[in-house]
Amino acid sequence: MTLHLTTEDQALLAGDHGEAVSLAMRILVSAAELLSAQALIRVTSAHIDGCLYHGDGGVEFAEKLVAAGGQVAVPTTLNVGALDLLHPDTVRADPLKAAMARRQMDAYVSMGAEPTFTCAPYQIGHEPGLGEQVAWGESNAIAFANSVLGARTERYGDFLDACCALTGRAPLHGLHIEQNRQAKVVVDATNVPDALKDQDVFYPVLGTWLGLEVGREVSVIVGLPSKVTRDQLKALGASAASTGAVALFHVVGVTPEAPSLDAVMSKGGSVRRITLTADMVRRALRRLTTADAVERIDAVAVGSPHFSITEFEALLNLVRGRCMAVPFYACTARATLRELEERGDLLALHEAGIKIVADTCVVVTPILRESGGVLMTNSGKFAHYGPSKTGYEVVYGSLEDCVESAVTGLVARTEEIWSW
């Protein structure tokens, strides 16, 4: 299949707009050819995952673009880095790695990207509209942009996301195309008790099951309440993108492309139908805890994806006037942190012993104390990646469970809601 380039595309490739753009276009064209794309598509925004330090190659790539005069062509936000630039003592990185991580973060800022350093740019004003073509990295952000906002992006990882940002182009393939956004799996959640579907703790579990069940297929869920919140959908998508490769899910009557089941159903080929059962839910729930028999915890971490203002409001109601007995980390965007400061809420969080982490999170860089301890979380993503990334075993529970456990250091979990 031949890739068609417009006259403008060819000018970008030829170097008419600078060496950095030409380099980015060469990479982008090669990727498009590998994907059998017929053309490139213009994008209106980007979210770059490639500012997180994984090794010196990432730094060298970013700095090569800077040296070649690279500047982003569309509004661009940045995913988490490996440092908390606002609280330098938070991360336990050796000086060399810290310096390289800082260079990588700085390089993308110098190319005109916003220093947002968050995995949830949609919470701080970066919200593309329904049908808008974008190029986003970071698995939960991709799932949220496609599913909850109805924008259109494929999975753009390091460092293809940066190439899209510099050129304002992306390969026309996958979820950029209307027909590829149709659901081939229908999940019926009607039998799940309404009381459970009203609870935040249910949605990471549903997402965990969904990712394991559908992999990268597009699904549509029926039977969820119309009042399901953005934070609940965020948690669902983040878990589904962690246990599987889910980049788009629909919820009938909730997400913008699914006013009805028929609106998003695949019009060609077979459709798989699954009725969600109690056993399916409980198996997914058990998977999120690797330290089920423990009585004590060593730390609590929340905020993967980054905590929203609404989630902080819930946390404040739970911790005000109380004191945590174990380290309690809440990861968030620097923009959300500023809002907490403006509201005057930061003092109450600090007095309760909540440690705010900005620009990064406990899973992608060394923040937890060095020990093979037990971490409690309400995040399906933290629960999935925690053991392999931190060396801590995990206990999954609701935000209320996390606070109650942190106050005493003893595991407290509400089990009754899972009995149906």
Q: How far is CA 380 from the centre of its chain?
A: 11
Q: Count the alpha carbons within 13 Å of 355 in the hemisphere toward its beta carbon.
A: 21
Strands, sheet with 219-222, edge to edge from the N-terminal-most edge strand = 249-251, 219-222, 185-188, 272-275
Name the DSSP letter for residue 189: -
CB 288 within 8 A of CB 383: yes
> Which pLDDT does position 417 carry in this prediction?
92
Q: Where in the chain is the domain with CATH 3.30.499.10?
A: 299-415
Q: Which amino acid is at 225?
A: P
CB 224 within 8 A of CB 194: no
Cα–Cα distance for residue pair 143/240, rounded to 1 Å: 9
Please list, in sequence order, all residues whose beta carbon lies within 8 angstroms of the beta carbon of residue 267, skipping any fewer than 6 positions away: 179, 182
> Which pLDDT does position 1 carry in this prediction?
64
Average pLDDT for consecutive 10-residue bins of the chain (420 residues)? Answer: 93 98 98 97 97 95 98 98 96 94 98 98 97 98 98 95 98 97 98 97 98 97 98 98 98 98 90 97 98 94 98 97 97 98 96 98 93 94 96 97 98 92
Please list, in sequence order, all residues whose beta carbon lies within 8 angstroms of the beta carbon of residue 252, skipping any fewer than 6 positions away: 220, 221, 222, 224, 258, 259, 260, 261, 264
Report the top-level CATH class of 7-179.
Answer: alpha beta
Name the DSSP letter for residue 178: G
What is the dihedral sign for C-alpha 20, 26, 29, 31?
Answer: negative
> Which pLDDT does position 266 carry in this prediction?
87
Residue owning tokens 């209307």: 178
> Cα angle at 323 between 318 and 324, to 5 degrees?
90
CB 48 within 8 A of CB 111: no
Q: What CATH architecture applies to the domain 299-415?
A: 2-Layer Sandwich (3.30)
Record the tokens describing residue 253, joined without a space. Answer: 């009557």
Report which of 258, 246, 175, 163 is spatially closest to residue 209, judged by C-alpha positions: 246
Residue owning tokens 């938070």: 90
Phi then psi for 205, rounded to 5 degrees?
A: -70, -45
Cα–Cα distance for residue pair 273/194, rounded to 1 Å: 21
CB 262 within 8 A of CB 338: no
Q: Which amino acid is at 18?
A: G
Record the tokens describing residue 4, joined without a space. Answer: 């068609």
